[in-house]
Amino acid sequence: MTLPLILIVLFVGLLIGGVGIGGVLLVPALKFLGQIPLHTAIPACMVGYIATGLIGALVFGKHGSINWRMAKVVCFGALPGAFLGAWVLQYFSASVLEAGIAALLIFSGLNALVERKKESETVSEVPGGFLLLAGVVTGAGSALTGTGGPLMLIPILIWRRVSLLTAIGLAQVIQIPISLTATFGNFLAGDVNFKLGLILGAVLAIGSFAGARIVHVLPIAPLKKAVAILMLLVGMFILIRLFA
């Protein structure tokens, strides 16, 4: 954990707490800057996301930005999904995981650049069945790629016309069951570096707290676009490096 890597982890925490889409940058940073193998980096990230989930839920909840009825349903769905994703992680090669992470980066970057519905066109409630399925998909995909939850859940909720701030609030909460369940699954599989995970959690927590506070007082659109462009560039870099 060099100083540049620590600063990047801090920045990732800021993005997770603020716009919810920064976690996907953490695994590539650990891989390429820290020379940490993917099968070590991904479980450690899941340990770190326990802290960002708790802090994000606390701050967003304090500001009344979490729909707790919806949160309970998506979290319930995330539990089996996260355990499944963590359990099958050991059966995927590093190259397949890298390709999957690159695809997530590019898709999420493009998704973040798409113009959203106006706030007046959003909905306040979503059917429970849809939320349950969204939780399962988010849990499995996040545990498998080390992205934590917000990256996958926010696009799904936005597509269903949930307001952006509500989607980010739900994405903060879902990190908790995903990271806890995935860590348990990774532990059973015998592949968790808790020392690295705790270091990541401590640094991410600082950034997440700041990001969660900032998002409630500043417009997030400019930052979201900048992050989207960064994700596109990182995703293309990984693909070029993987297939060169």
CA–CA gap between residue 206 and residue 128 (Å, rounded): 33
Where in the sequence is the domain holding 46, given as residue range(s)? 3-243
Distances (CA, A) of 164 to 7, 108, 118, 193: 27, 15, 10, 34
Whether this prediction's pTM lies above 0.75 is answered by yes
Task: Supply the pLDDT for residue 116.
Answer: 55
How is the chain split among helix, strand and coil, in percent rounded to 5?
80, 0, 20
Distances (CA, A) of 24 to 49, 143, 144: 12, 12, 12
Task: Supply the pLDDT for residue 58.
Answer: 94
Task: Supply the pLDDT for residue 244.
Answer: 65
The per-residue pLDDT string of the chain (244 residues; one tens digit each, 9 = 90 and over) reads: 789 999 999 999 998 988 877 777 898 899 888 899 988 998 999 999 999 999 999 999 999 989 999 999 999 999 998 888 888 877 887 678 778 778 877 887 787 777 555 545 667 678 899 999 999 988 888 888 777 788 788 878 877 888 878 888 999 999 999 999 889 888 988 878 999 999 999 999 999 999 988 888 877 677 667 767 877 887 887 788 777 6
Of all helices (H) and strands (E), which one includes residue 82?
helix 68-88
Residue ranges in 92-217 assigned as alpha helix (H): 94-113, 128-145, 150-159, 164-188, 194-214
State phi, psi for 24 to the nearest 5 degrees: -70, -15
Task: Supply the pLDDT for residue 233.
Answer: 82
Q: Which long-range contacts (CB under 8 A, 24 or more apart) does 28-36 make?
A: 28/101, 28/105, 28/234, 28/238, 29/5, 30/5, 31/98, 33/2, 33/4, 33/5, 33/8, 34/1, 34/2, 34/5, 36/196
The tally of domains found in the chain comes to 1
DSSP, collapsed to helix, strand or coil, labels residue 123 as strand
What is the rounded (10 degree) CA torsion for 149, 219, 119, 173?
Answer: 20
Task: Supply the pLDDT for residue 109.
Answer: 77
> What Rg value do the Cα atoms of the chain yield, rounded?
16
